[in-house]
């Protein structure tokens, strides 16, 4: 596949068949991917495995001459599907991925700040737990830095649907969190 005929989503993917470009992509997207998978409900180890597998798949995809359009969305979609496949019961494991009682307050926070932050996160957690799955996933992918079009690619939704879903989810959170 020649470079001229392929629309590239990222400028450094011009020579995407080389492993160095995949390495650069790995450095850029590893953390957002990990965060998305962890927030989706995977453990840290599972998320690491899924990220590794996703980049191996990307390497094979590019080596096989696969499309290089929207590589970010492609990676998130692969990781998302692999995460689903890893779960024996998706609904059991992903029912309330963000509804965790884990103490997520920063360790260096002062006691007052820790209490305020804990309360804020508690309200947010409760509000997120009430969102439909599609709205939750849209918010997570948006927090991962994906554009609406990329989110649509990952979740199989139209861009306008993603815009409506994100807007609806943000409004719900704003109302229920009282921020």
Using the rule CB under 8 A, is 126 a contact of another protein?
no
Residue 96 DSSP code: S
First to last CA, the chain: 51
**DSSP string covering 7-67:** --SSGGGGGTTSHHHHHHHHHHHHHHHHHHHHHHT--HHHHHHHHHHHHHHHHHHHHTT--
Residue from the set 106, 111, 112, 156 that interacts with another protein by CB under 8 A: 106
Using the rule CB under 8 A, is 139 a contact of another protein?
yes
Using the rule CB under 8 A, is 64 a contact of another protein?
no
Least distance (Å) from another protein to the CB of residue 78?
19
Q: Are 42 and 54 in contact (CB under 8 A)?
A: no
Residue from the set 18, 23, 43, 85 that interacts with another protein by CB under 8 A: 43
**Using CB under 8 A as the criterion, which residues of the chain lie in contact with another protein when the complex forms?**
34-35, 38-39, 43-44, 47, 98, 100, 102-107, 120-121, 124-125, 128, 139-140, 142-143, 147-148, 163, 166-167, 170-171, 173-174, 177, 179
């Amino acid at each position: 596949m020649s470079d001229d005929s392929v629309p590239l989503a990222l400028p450094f993917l011009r020579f995407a068949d080389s492993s160095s470009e995949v390495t650069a992509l790995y450095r850029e997207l590893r953390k957002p991917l990990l965060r998305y998978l962890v927030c989706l409900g995977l453990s840290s180890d599972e998320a690491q495995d899924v990220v590794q597998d996703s980049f191996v798949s990307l390497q094979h995809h590019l080596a096989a001459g696969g499309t290089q359009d929207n590589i970010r969305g492609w990676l998130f979609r692969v990781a998302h599907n692999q995460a689903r496949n890893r779960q024996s019961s998706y609904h059991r494991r992903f029912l309330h991925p963000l509804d965790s009682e884990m103490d997520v307050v920063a360790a260096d926070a002062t006691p007052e700040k820790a209490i305020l932050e804990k309360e804020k996160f508690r309200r947010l957690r409760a509000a997120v737990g009430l969102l439909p799955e599609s709205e939750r996933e849209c918010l997570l992918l948006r927090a991962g830095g994906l554009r609406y079009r990329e989110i649509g690619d990952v979740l199989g939704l139209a861009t306008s649907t993603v815009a409506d879903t994100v807007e609806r989810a943000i409004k719900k959170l704003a109302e229920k969190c009282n921020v």
